[in-house]
A and B are shown apart, each in its own frame.
Chain A
């Protein structure tokens, strides 16, 4: 378990910088290139990584900070993603023994499955807030291609984030701490 704050602060700052660069790409560069209907939610990728590999008591606060930085680029706010992220972390904590990222295919598959959990959690909260089921259906059609892109990018980004958070490629962060 990574319980020391000093082990978290520096990687967190680097992760936030990566998130900011990715958010700028998805909000400014891709729309200018004509990709406007689908926006790749890089915040989900980072929160899922943290949930999969980071074992620390401050995980929920780290997710909150990541989502808060995401809210500078979206009116979605930080709340929905934070609840979805914390919920996923709780689910992962029960499945920790069976989750291993030994190959790119497994990483893609696991990321896709947990994006479904994210989608259902956020959709449920969104439905409670707006009371509109048609919005959820509309959201689902966008979710399918966006989530596939995120899953395909996952092995590459997870490898980068593994280096930043000093975790082994296959195991969980903190296994060897």
Chain B
């Protein structure tokens, strides 16, 4: 196909306008809570992600050889310490098991709702987002492993984020460090509510906390279970800074996440069997409130 100069200019203007219009429409309809992939995106991400995975694997294997064999000088001393710690932990675990059983009995007695069973799927971090504006991790589990959009992602240390984009074999996790991720949370000690938002690579902000709440440094922050996304009681982090002005209704609380995102290699995805049913119920509630507004 060949076109003339004048015709070329006309085509260029038409294509520029068309592409910009489609892109603007795309921006306006973009949702930062979830992204459903098209079939083509699905195929392409599943094609490229294994390459990312293998690059990460080679690098981590090299690191592990270095850390486990070459830089492992004080291993025997550390091993003794850990053995002692393990025996202490085992005795604590026994008492916790007793407490758990007691808790179950008491919950039954008080007629508490049944806790939702979560399927735990272990996944490996294979890459990060190509733009530094977003704090996103790519993991090596996807739809065929049973993952669902907006499933909660955690580690043993605390909350990581939720599944934002999903393909057959891989998933993108929007971490709590990302400003687009907002977590309804509460302060463990005083049960004060707030919203945790990502702020930078190392910290989050807890917003809308009443100024009168007596929060102190190192207070633990947990998920509140509100908002239909995260289960209740997952550790988010600890309070690292409090700014309380003499005016205003709220205080600014800075939180250091309990998860070390810089060294994150494996995560656990919590998938609830009742997610779809829950979504339907939430949608029904949303549509009812919209109808009332009208």
Report A's interface with B, CB cutoff 8 A.
1, 3-5, 20, 23-29, 31-34, 36-39, 41, 43, 56-61, 63-64, 69-80, 82-83, 86, 89-90, 125-126, 128-130, 132, 135, 138-139, 142, 146
- Enumerate 9 A-B pairs (CB-CB under 8 Å) in ascending A order: A28-B52, A28-B55, A56-B12, A59-B15, A60-B16, A61-B15, A79-B27, A90-B16, A138-B199
**Is B23 a contact partner of A74 (Cβ separation < 8 A)?**
no
Residue of A whose beta carbon sits closest to that of B10: A57
Report B's interface with A, CB cutoff 8 A.
1-5, 8-9, 11-12, 15-16, 18-20, 23-24, 26-28, 30, 35, 41, 44-45, 48, 51-53, 55-56, 59-60, 63, 126-134, 136, 138, 164-165, 172, 174, 179-180, 199-201, 261-262
**Is A1 a contact partner of B56 (Cβ separation < 8 A)?**
no
* Complexed CA–CA distance, A73 and B51 (Å): 12
**Is B132 a contact partner of A38 (Cβ separation < 8 A)?**
yes
Query: Which 8 pairs of residues, A with B, have the shortest CB-CB distance?
Result: A32-B59, A73-B130, A74-B130, A79-B26, A57-B12, A57-B11, A28-B52, A28-B55
Residues on B with beta carbons closer than 8 Å to the beta carbon of A125: 27
* Complexed CA–CA distance, A20 and B86 (Å): 46
**Is A86 a contact partner of B19 (Cβ separation < 8 A)?**
yes
Interface of A is mostly: helix
* Complexed CA–CA distance, A32 and B66 (Å): 14
* Complexed CA–CA distance, A76 and B129 (Å): 9
Residue of A whose beta carbon sits closest to that of B133: A139
Minimum distance in angstroms from A150 CB to a CB of chain B: 12
Residues on B with beta carbons closer than 8 Å to the beta carbon of A34: 262
Residue of A whose beta carbon sits closest to that of B35: A75
Minimum distance in angstroms from A29 CB to a CB of chain B: 5
**Is A83 a contact partner of B20 (Cβ separation < 8 A)?**
yes
Minimum distance in angstroms from B51 CB to a CB of chain A: 6
* Complexed CA–CA distance, A4 and B126 (Å): 40
Residues on A with beta carbons closer than 8 Å to the beta carbon of B20: 60, 82-83, 86
Residue of A whose beta carbon sits closest to that of B41: A72
Residues on B with beta carbons closer than 8 Å to the beta carbon of A1: 5, 8
